[in-house]
Structures are given as structure tokens and as C-alpha cells.
């Protein structure tokens, strides 16, 4: 029916063109312009009526599809799914909501209310997914293969929500984060790779942060910008690495030779000169991932309403002040909380404990005992 209406729209447009051509031709043997204009106006009116009919048909089709779907809410997360898949949809919703609330607190609801998710089981007979496309007017459609676990489908819900969150943030916050927060099923703000990055960073302020100097943490995260970031944030080796990383931007024109002297001949003065060209290029030594973990810690600490406070503070010039408002506490308290969360994610270098080694020996003894009790008589 819809395709017929679409064809009708194209037909009308073609008809209008034909009428115009005919009008031009008829003008040649003297038909009056006023009657042609009236005819065109009639056709325009007809076209609008047909469009309205097509729109109401789409709405009716949406309502019809909605009628065959069950709906459920998990927290502020709204899901639609066929009746036979509703239990699966509930598990998906619970996994997604647990992960979202765990990292972003209840205030993520203000992002979630914009979306509704439609979970449709994959139809092997429908290779073009036309059935799924039909549900697009109802919300974000997720076509779920039969054997996909609920946790993986939950991640498909989390990804667009994080995308919405990223789009909601103002430019200054996005610039500080330097990239979207990675969507995960984790419920913790800080991961073990965050610990690894902090402990392996060669930056003097990052080292100070690791050793427990909170003012160094704030500087390493870019919350406080020193007068000369290249010198304050990076060691000699770090500056050379940074210039190497920024090669595409710095290795042009007259700076080419200076670039070579810095990266190949290790002349620090040239590295400093290159980085002084444009200090906006010098990023804080701790990556966007660690900055995102700081933001997530602030959101968790701020509990209900923290995201609203962050979004509502876009007038504030300082990112540090905004994070204070988000967390509802002082920057030093927030930094201390983040620092202890990062250190808590310490990794064991070689996980060979006495108990593991002892258990292996006991298992070996047991297996050897079994072997000695084998029979030579086959």
C-alpha cells in the first residue's frame, strides 16, 4: 500500500511537469494563463492531500505494528518486542540498565527518555530486513540473531545511549575528553587499563600523580593548564615521543629539518621549539580514557542529578569547576576518590601465587597416582 502511495506521489509530480509542458504548448495557440494556473493549483492541492494520506497511512501502519508488540520498561529504558521475545528483551534491558546506571548514575535517564528500542528477532527468510525496517518509526530497531546472548544485545543499546550523551555534551567538555567515552558493560568507572596507563606514563606529573600528589593528578588530567605545558607535562623522552606522534601536523615545510633533529638526533631544544609553535597541540599527558574515567567518577560521586548538573554548568569556563559541580564535592576530594579507584585496579604482573603453584603440584600428584594404577593387561 505504502509503495503504491509512493508511486502515486511520483506520478503526481510527473503529471505536474506534463501539465506545465502542455500549458506551454497550449500557450502557443492562445489558451489563457489564468486557467493553467488554476489547474496547477488544483494539482498542487491534490498532491498535498495525497501526501497527508500517505503520512496517516504510515502512522496507522506504525500503530498496527505497535499493537503486535509488547512493551516493557526497565528503569527509564523503554523497550518493545514481540510477545515471544519479551523475556529476552527484559534480560537485555536489565543488563543495559545495570551497566548504564553503574557508570552514569540515575541521571542518565535524561538521555534515555529520547529513545525507545525495538527488539526484533532476526528472520532468516527476510534477507533484506524489510520487516525490521517497518518498525523504524517506533524507535531504534535492533535485529537480534537467535543465538546472540543478552549481554551482547545490551551493548547495542548502550552504544547509541553513549552517542546521545556525547552529543549532549557541550564543545568545551568534548574538547577536554578528546573523544567519546567508550561504551562498555562494566559498572565501574575505572578499568585496569587506566591503572596500566597511569603507572607506565613517563610524564613527570603523571608519575607524581601515581605517587599520590593530587595537584599533579589535576595537572596530568589537563584540569590545570601550566604556563608551558610542553616543559611541565612531558620529560625529554616524552617530548620526543609526542613530536613523533604529532608527525603529520608538525612535519611540514620549514619544520621538517627541525622535526628530524628532534626525533632522529634526539635534540630536545628542537622538540621544545616544535611544541612551542602551537601549544594547543600539546595534549595533557593522561589520555582521554583516563579523563573519561575521571568524569565517570564525578558522575558516580554526584549520584542523582549529576549529569543534569554537568550539562547545566556549560556557562562555567573551567572544566575543573564543572566537574566539582557534577560531583557535588571539592576537586581535591574528587581527585582523591578517582586516584584511589585507579590504584585499586592494580594488576598482578605474573599471577603465580603459592596457592596456584601448590594446587598444580597436588593435581600432578593425583594424576600421576592414576597413571601408576593403570594396567598393562589390555
Partner 1 sequence: MFRAILFTQWKWGRLLLLMATLAGFAIPLLSVQGLNTTYGNFYVVMSLQAFGIAYPLLAASAGLLLSLSAWTSDHRGRHVYALSLPVARWRYVLLRYQAGLLLLLLPILGIWLGAILATRFTHIPAGLHPYAAALALRFALSAALAYTAFFAISSGTPKTAGIVLGIAATLVAIQVLASAAGSDFNLLRPVFDRLFVWPGPFEIFTGRWMLLDV
User: Which residues of this protein are in contact with partner 1, per CB under 8 A?
Assistant: 146-147, 149-150, 196-197, 199-202, 207, 241, 244-245, 347-352, 355-357, 359-361, 363-364, 367-368, 370-376, 378
Nearest to 336 by CA among 177, 191, 213: 213
The residues pairing with 121 across neighbouring beta strands, listed in sequence order, are: 144
Long-range contacts for 180-186 (Cβ within 8 Å, ≥24 apart)?
Answer: 181/292, 181/295, 181/296, 182/289, 182/292, 183/155, 183/158, 183/159, 184/99, 184/103, 184/155, 184/158, 185/95, 185/99, 185/151, 185/154, 185/155, 185/158, 186/99, 186/102, 186/103
Q: Which is nearer to partner 1, 284 or 302 (CB)?
A: 284
Q: Which is nearer to partner 1, 125 or 371 (CB)?
A: 371
Nearest approach in angstroms of CB 88 to partner 1 is: 8
Q: Which is nearer to partner 1, 54 or 155 (CB)?
A: 155
Nearest approach in angstroms of CB 283 to partner 1 is: 12
Q: Which is nearer to partner 1, 95 or 111 (CB)?
A: 95
Nearest approach in angstroms of CB 72 to partner 1 is: 18
Three-state DSSP class for 204? helix
Nearest approach in angstroms of CB 159 to partner 1 is: 21
Nearest approach in angstroms of CB 160 to partner 1 is: 24
Q: Alpha-carbon distance 362 to 376, whole Å?
A: 25
Q: Tell me, what DSSP letter sits at residue 349? A: S
Q: Which is nearer to partner 1, 136 or 352 (CB)?
A: 352
Nearest approach in angstroms of CB 308 to partner 1 is: 34
**Cβ within 8 Å of residue 216, ≥6 positions away:** 205, 206, 207, 208, 209
- Torsion sign over Cα 268, 271, 277, 281: negative
Q: Which is nearer to partner 1, 127 or 374 (CB)?
A: 374
Nearest approach in angstroms of CB 314 to partner 1 is: 32
Q: Which is nearer to partner 1, 130 or 348 (CB)?
A: 348
Q: How many CB atoms sit inside 10 A of residue 264's CB? A: 10
Q: Which is nearer to partner 1, 222 or 302 (CB)?
A: 222
Nearest approach in angstroms of CB 260 to partner 1 is: 16
Query: What are the residue ranges of helices labelled H in the chain?
Result: 2-28, 33-67, 86-104, 109-112, 130-133, 150-168, 171-177, 192-200, 204-210, 214-220, 229-233, 236-245, 247-250, 255-263, 268-277, 288-302, 306-312, 319-327, 331-343, 354-372
Amino acid at each position: 500500500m505504502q509503495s503504491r502511495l509512493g508511486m502515486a506521489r511520483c506520478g503526481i509530480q510527473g503529471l505536474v511537469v506534463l501539465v506545465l509542458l502542455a500549458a506551454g504548448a497550449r500557450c502557443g495557440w492562445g489558451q489563457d494563463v489564468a486557467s493553467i494556473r488554476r489547474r496547477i493549483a488544483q494539482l498542487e492541492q491534490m498532491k498535498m492531500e495525497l501526501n497527508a494520506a500517505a503520512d496517516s497511512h504510515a502512522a496507522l501502519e506504525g500503530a498496527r505494528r505497535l499493537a503486535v508488540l509488547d512493551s516493557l520498561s526497565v528503569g527509564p529504558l523503554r523497550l518493545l518486542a514481540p510477545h515471544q521475545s519479551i523475556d529476552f528483551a527484559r534480560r537485555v534491558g536489565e543488563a543495559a540498565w545495570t551497566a548504564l546506571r553503574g557508570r552514569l548514575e540515575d541521571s542518565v535517564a535524561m538521555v534515555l527518555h529520547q529513545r525507545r528500542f525495538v527488539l526484533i528477532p532476526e528472520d532468516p527468510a527476510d534477507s533484506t530486513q524489510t520487516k525490521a525496517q517497518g518498525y523504524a518509526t517506533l524507535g531504534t530497531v535492533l535485529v537480534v540473531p537467535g543465538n546472540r546472548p543478552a549481554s551482547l544485545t545490551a551493548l547495542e543499546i548502550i552504544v547509541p545511549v553513549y552517542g546521545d550523551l556525547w552529543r549532549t555534551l557541550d564543545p568545551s567538555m568534548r574538547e577536554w575528553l578528546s573523544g567519546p567515552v567508550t561504551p562498555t558493560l562494566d559498572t565501574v568507572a575505572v578499568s585496569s587499563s587506566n591503572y596500566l596507563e597511569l603507572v607506565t606514563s613517563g610524564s613527570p606529573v603523571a608519575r607524581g600523580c601515581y605517587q599520590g600528589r593530587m595537584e599533579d593528578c589535576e595537572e596530568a588530567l589537563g584540569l590545570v593548564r601550566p604556563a608551558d605545558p610542553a616543559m611541565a607535562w612531558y620529560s625529554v623522552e616524552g617530548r620526543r615521543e609526542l613530536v613523533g606522534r604529532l608527525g603529520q601536523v608538525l612535519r611540514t615545510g620549514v619544520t621538517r629539518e627541525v622535526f628530524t633533529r628532534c626525533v632522529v638526533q634526539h635534540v630536545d631544544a628542537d622538540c621544545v621549539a616544535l611544541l612551542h609553535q602551537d601549544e594547543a597541540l600539546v595534549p595533557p599527558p593522561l589520555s582521554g580514557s583516563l579523563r573519561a574515567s575521571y568524569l565517570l567518577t564525578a558522575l558516580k560521586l554526584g549520584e542523582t542529578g549529576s549529569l543534569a548538573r554537568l550539562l547545566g554548568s556549560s556557562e562555567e569556563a573551567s572544566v575543573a569547576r564543572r566537574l566539582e559541580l557534577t560531583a557535588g564535592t571539592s576537586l581535591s576530594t574528587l581527585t582523591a576518590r578517582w586516584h584511589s579507584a585507579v590504584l585499586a585496579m592494580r594488576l598482578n604482573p605474573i599471577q603465580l601465587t603459592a596457592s596456584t603453584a601448590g594446587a598444580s603440584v597436588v593435581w600432578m600428584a593425583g594424576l600421576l597416582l592414576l597413571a601408576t594404577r593403570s594396567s598393562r593387561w589390555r
